Structure 1
């Protein structure tokens, strides 16, 4: 080797050794965002990845005279600088030629020993650089023919293969997903950590074509071990944007559990998880409980990152959760993180509105940045609507309408204020306008609010019309449902609870809001129509003379009730144990024997003493054998049916019919019957009735008595009262009512002279509206009672019942009833005043003497027909009584369980000229279905059938 060759090899090694040191490609990547630091949680900018600018191929291509680095999947080769003149032909060095390629750049012509048989390879490198692979292959074929012993260098072969592989990958990345999938399967390393940009491009193709599972598989090769950390974090950002939530979560969880990150990588990863949590929070319904839990977990991070958009989101969530103070705090924090932020300012405005701090809210809206903000106009309109609502609640209806006009001027759509406008018009009594507003909204939205308003306004416009009639005219739907609900409410306050329950059930059928419908009836009516069986015991004591006015009654009773829709069926059975005590017959006509003795003695002349002794013996014997009164036993059975009917467009008529009978000695079988019809209207109520019932004033008037056999026997009494009357109540003012009643009576009995009577009652009441009471009223009362004959005597032909020719009572009555629909209820009636009663004297025997009585008198020692005739004209003395009277009645029922009630009643009546009366009863009622509460229809109203007062209200 000469000196020239030696220098040539020295220069070659000096160039080659440093180039080999640069041959290892590091493929470094970093994450670049629009801002060098991470932005806020709400920033949706995704990271971009760019190739490390070190060893830029473009720089390498432009640096003449330097070795260049060529990227290859398998190796990196060093190429010597191109000589300034063609190389001389010679033999290659002993260790072989070295070649290198540059990724995407013109390869440097390798240095080869100068020989005369080898072609120049520089044109071949130029063709590879230009990616003219077809021409390259043709040139190779030509050179092989021209130089049979020549073969391309190893560098050319490697570069040609690399170029071919790059072309295939490029074609796959721009082709069909199937081809790309096959290529990845054949050469997975080409799409691994070392080629992260190529992996992302493949993912882009799969995302565009919808093959997300392939994207997940690619990203799974990166997570959790790929280096550098920044490439994994960037891949997770991409996954968050491209993959379903479950797959993204799986990758993040894998990175969290298995990934190893430096401090910067850990911070970036935590920021990613934070952003993901904020994004999930933003998709959760703000009012949901899970939103509150998520916010509680995120709150420290939001403050740590000083994330204004996330703080604003937190404020809206707290508002939706009705945590107004917490919302206010979050909006303040957001404005601290980002002063002047419009979203946060508007959120703070909303919080001020919720706290009704309207002045503060308006001050915030006056900021210049919000002057032209559309959302600020909406907020001002919202404030006006809120103030209108407040004015409506304060009954300032005209002010409310003016504020609604302000809201409209701020752009609030009319549809958003129609309902409140309609309610204001309704409250002002402008029913025609209210109906128009509600109807327009209802026809557009078919919502409950407008349907309810339309129903109320329609009912008010058609004052006095039956709600169910209007509901039928409305054709059903929501409006019909609310009209039915109004009907249920009306029936409830009229104490027609069964009918109210039926109307309420109809109201719920139309699809209206059940909760709103339920508000119309203030108590739970469930079970009000349940069938029931009641058993009880009644005791009453009519204080009077034994065998005459005295009457002790013990009556066990059973009562059953069955209800179907609004029809009520009742059956009552009672055993009657009556005891009047006994007295001698002569006591029924006080002083009668004395008067007979006087008449006889006046007619016997000198034989007075002997006749007198004989009469005394006869009278003593008579008193022993001629007694009346005693006790009786009987049974009562009563059936009642009640319902309501409609006649034309008139309000509902309520009717009832009852029939029954009493069986027992001495009167035997006696039928009873009663019918009534009434109506409740907007001004009050009226009822008219007619019936035939027994007079339960004494044993004589109720069941009759029998004359002793000593006077020939004979039955009399068992008076029946045929009565007809009318009762009216006027609600003259919200707290005042006036009650009036008139009744006519026709009384007949077994061997009893007939009688007629009438009664009139007038009273007024003022309701004090005491809390806890349905009513608590007091007012004056006036009662008048008059009969043609006084039959308050107990001799043959008399009725034995209170029948004054004039009874006038004036007093004050206090009445109360506790709230309906509770677990217990009680009712009271206290009345006291002054009574003046006149009872005229009457013939003791208005029908004359019986044959037995006449014979008995005629057979007396010294008697004659004239004495018999005189006895028939005996007079029973009347009376004129006056003084204070009092009547008290208390009744109560309590709920022992869902199916069981216990009730009781006590009653007392003291009236001048009349026997005192006392009564009490107790009963247990069992329902065949659960009953939710106690109502006034469950209370006993008299001591006879658990429902009027003593003696059929004729006190």
Structure 2
């Protein structure tokens, strides 16, 4: 700041002060020694004695010089500040009295007064160039009068002439001995000089070793200011390391405090050191706060609390005391000291209301931690209670509700869990709520509702639901469904949906009377299949070569036949699975071919399953029932029986490993020139599943079966059907069924049954379609033990080929039957594992051709 008014007051006094060279010309006597040392002399207005002396001289020289009164008027004009008038008066007297020599001190007095007036005017106008012109150049090695020093400093500062300003300060400090002047210059220097100028001034030798303590103190202050400015400049320029180095070598609390704040975020221990050193110089609330914050960042809560207590006014740091309390609450929570954590959190909020949200979050978090511990130990009731308590806090409301919902799921409150997870997902569709909602929906059997919500609002729920659909399908053996819903979820399903080509050959030998119920046959089945999503498609043709043998009776004339039976089949997996097949009874043979087919539907019934079938199946008991034969007497074709009907089956678990099953079938049978018939069949069974490693299932238990045909047509004369048709057939026994785990390189399935059978057959007319009276044939009762065994297996040969085979044997009172089969399947692209569908199908057992 330029101090112009102060300088003007100084110049007002300078009307009677001015520098001269040589001896003093003053009526006041000698100039004090102090003024003489500075080269400054007082010129004041002459006293009475000096006037009387001049008057005497004037009387002598009256004719050649102005009067004494005239000269005194000139002095008075100057003393009154009328320098121009005084100069004009002096000039006029010299002109009027050419031989007159004006007093030297008067001329100096007027000249100095004019210069001072010009200087004052220049300062008033802040005309710094004029000010410097009025001052003239400084005399090297000489100290100017104080007011001239200040005037020069002010003008140079106004011109912002850094070089000359530095020189003016250095020259004045080096040459002037006035302690007050030098101290004043050092005090003003920070306002005028830049950092470099301050550093140069503070380093002057005359200051570093000055004898006066006031000057030494002023110099230290100046050096500290220079250092602080250098520190601030380094920080502003990004030279943080240089700035911190200055701070480390300083004891200036300003530098130390600012350095502490600078590194607080990155070097808390270093910041604490800076703040502690600064506090060693000066205690301020800002430095104390910085120290506590730095210590808090180091995590030393005890030291932070001590630093707060050491403050002049600890109450002013209540907010930081709240942070300490909050830190103690967090530490107690981490240590599992829940009560301590809750108390400390409450205290933190009381000390620092701004920490209330954090304290609330910590309390809720502590409750959540306790809930998590209870959940992990299986105490779901306690976990739910604690989670709901956490949900009463804003910060943990959602997390608490989420944990409570998980506890509900574990407690079996699946509907409540689903409702809560649903609400959470609708509010914010995240991974955890999606996972919980999907699992709860699966438990309640309402995955479809979850899927609808996923389609409506998006988010991760859709993926979770699809994964659970896939898991459920995988568990149920619906591998195409699992693959289509989650293609990358199961590596073992790789290739399960690829197309395939299969060639199978099956041989059969059934015991009985030659030409009648004896049957020797060979079947070649060529088929191809593919899939799309949950759907499987298959088409093929079965070529039958059958030979009943030559009958010993003249009225029965069967023949060897080679016939073909094309078919198409489709199936769909799912909660409601569907299978359908359509084709022809073998084309060719004596009797006309007929359309055959079957539709089967299976659906989950709670924990059980129900199945319904409608069908038109060829009877494969004999050549007559399968393709027909010619009547020996008339040559008329008859036979080729098709059984049309419906079947129902229900299976229900009664415990974890036990289940019961019931079956019912109602059918009608007819053929070409064959007496019509009907059948009713029923069965019940119970089974226990045995868990064994490597097996998909092992089930064993008792069973009972019953069949009853309306009439007995198990003969081979004209009008009969040639199939087993007892009027009462009872079978009670025990079965064992097993299958190895699917999706391996091999799979084996085995079924074994042993039973006691009872058969009653009525006698039948020899020619049932002849209206004339006919002799009766057959009829009777029988009983005995029967057994059946069927084994099928498949093995992967490399990735693209599967070799499979089957063998079965039946021994009973009705008939004996042996069948052998082998098949080779090619899967372009390969398959990772095998499933039940890879096992051979028996072409002589229509009931096994499709499985829903």
Aligned counterparts, 1:96-107, within 5 A: none
- TM-score when scaled to structure 2? 0.59
Paired residue for 1:167, among 142, 147, 158? 158
Asked if 1:689 is matched to 2:613, the reply is yes
The structure, 1 or 2, with the larger RCO (C-alpha pairs under 8 Å, 6+ apart) is 1
Aligned partners of 2:690 and 2:697 also within 8 Å:
yes
Cα offset, 1:825, TM superposition:
6.8
Do the aligned partners of residues 848 and 746 (structure 1) sit closer, same or farther apart at CA in structure 2, a change above 3 Å counting?
Answer: closer
Matched, 1:831 2:752: yes
CA distance in 1, matches of 2:157, 2:741: 92
- Mark the CA change 1:555 to 1:425 in structure 2 (over 3 Å): closer, same or farther: same
Distance of aligned partners of 1:734 and 1:123 in 2 relative to their CA distance in 1, 3 Å threshold = farther
Residues 467-523 of structure 1: per-residue CA shift (max 9 Å, x gap): 536855998225984777766666665555556667x48xxxxxxxxxxxx9xx974
In the alignment, is the contact (CA less than 8 A) between 1:742 and 1:761 conserved in 2?
yes
Shift of residue 804, structure 1, vs aligned partner: 4.0
| Alignment counterpart, residue 372 of structure 2, candidates 389, 402, 412 | 389
- Partners in 1 of 2:472 and 2:455 — Cα distance? 20
2:760 touches 2:780 (CA, 8 Å); kept in 1?
yes
SS in 2 for 1:665: coil
CA gap 1:742/1:168 in 2 versus in 1, 3 angstroms: farther
Q: Is 1:585 paired with 2:551? A: yes
**Structure 1 contact 881–912 (Cα < 8 Å) conserved:** no
1:550 corresponds to = 519
What TM-score, normalized by structure 1, do the two folds share? Answer: 0.54
Mapping 1:288-303, distance limit 5 Å: none
Equivalents in 2 of 1:392, 1:788: separation in Å?
Answer: 65
Counterpart mapping for 1:683-832 below 5 A: 683-705=607-629, 715-770=637-692, 774-794=696-716, 797-816=719-738, 822-824=743-745, 826=747, 828-832=749-753
Note if contact 1:419-1:441 (Cα within 8 Å) is conserved in structure 2: yes
Whether contact under 8 Å (1:689, 1:725) holds in the other structure is: yes
Distance 1:673 1:771 in 2: 38
Unpaired runs of 5+ in structure 2?
1-20, 25-32, 45-103, 163-191, 201-225, 251-257, 269-290, 307-320
Gaps of 5+ in 1: 9-63, 67-78, 88-112, 144-149, 172-189, 199-227, 240-247, 266-271, 283-306, 315-330, 506-517, 594-625, 646-650, 851-868
CA RMSD, 1 decimal:
5.9
- CA gap of 1:908–1:458, structure 2 versus 1, over 3 A, is closer
Mark the CA change 1:163 to 1:941 in structure 2 (over 3 Å): closer, same or farther: farther
CA–CA distance in structure 2, aligned partners of residues 578 and 674 of structure 1: 24
Larger Rg: 2
Residues 831, 887 of structure 1: 8 Å contact kept: yes
Distance of 1:680 and 1:911 partners within structure 2: 35
The question of whether the paired residues in 1 share the 8 Å contact of 2:483 and 2:490 is answered with no
- The residue number in structure 1 matching 2:448 is 468
User: Shift of the alpha carbon at 1:672?
Assistant: 1.3
Q: CA deviation at 1:400?
A: 2.0
Equivalent residue, structure 2, for 1:908: 808
Match of 1:887 among 789, 793, 796: 789
Contact 2:422–2:437 at 8 Å: present in 1 too? yes
Answer yes or no: is the 8 Å Cα contact 2:331–2:341 preserved in 1.
no
- Residue 674 (structure 1) aligns with: 598
Give me the whole-angstrom Cα distance separating, in 2, the residues matched to 1:785 and 1:337.
93
SS for the counterpart of 2:371 is helix
Give how far 1:539 is off.
Answer: 1.6
Give, in whole Å, the separation in 1 of the partners of 2:791 and 2:665.
23
Equivalence map 1:350-365=2 (5 Å): 358=336, 360=337
Instruction: Name the stretch that deviates more: 390-399 or 789-798.
Output: 789-798
Cα distance, 1:264 vs structure 2: 6.9
Q: Report the secondary structure of 2:665's partner residue.
A: strand
Deviation, 1:168, is: 5.2
Asked if 1:940 is matched to 2:839, the reply is yes
How far is 1:193 from its partner? 7.5
- How far 1:777 moved relative to its partner? 3.5
CA shift for structure 1 position 553: 1.9
Specify whether residues 231 and 366 from structure 1 end up closer, same or farther in structure 2 by C-alpha distance, changes over 3 A only. same
Residue pair 1:895, 1:902 contacting (<8 A) in 2 also: yes
Count the aligned residue pairs: 651
State the 1:760 CA deviation.
1.7
1:638 CA displacement: 1.2
- Per-residue deviation at 1:838? 2.0
For the 8 Å contact 2:677–2:709, the answer to whether it is kept is: yes
Find the aligned partners of 1:714 and 1:339 in 2 and give their Cα distance: 115
Q: Quick check: 1:501–1:525 contact (8 Å CA) kept in 2?
A: no
Q: What SS does the aligned partner of 1:663 have?
A: coil
Q: What displacement does 1:887 show?
A: 2.9
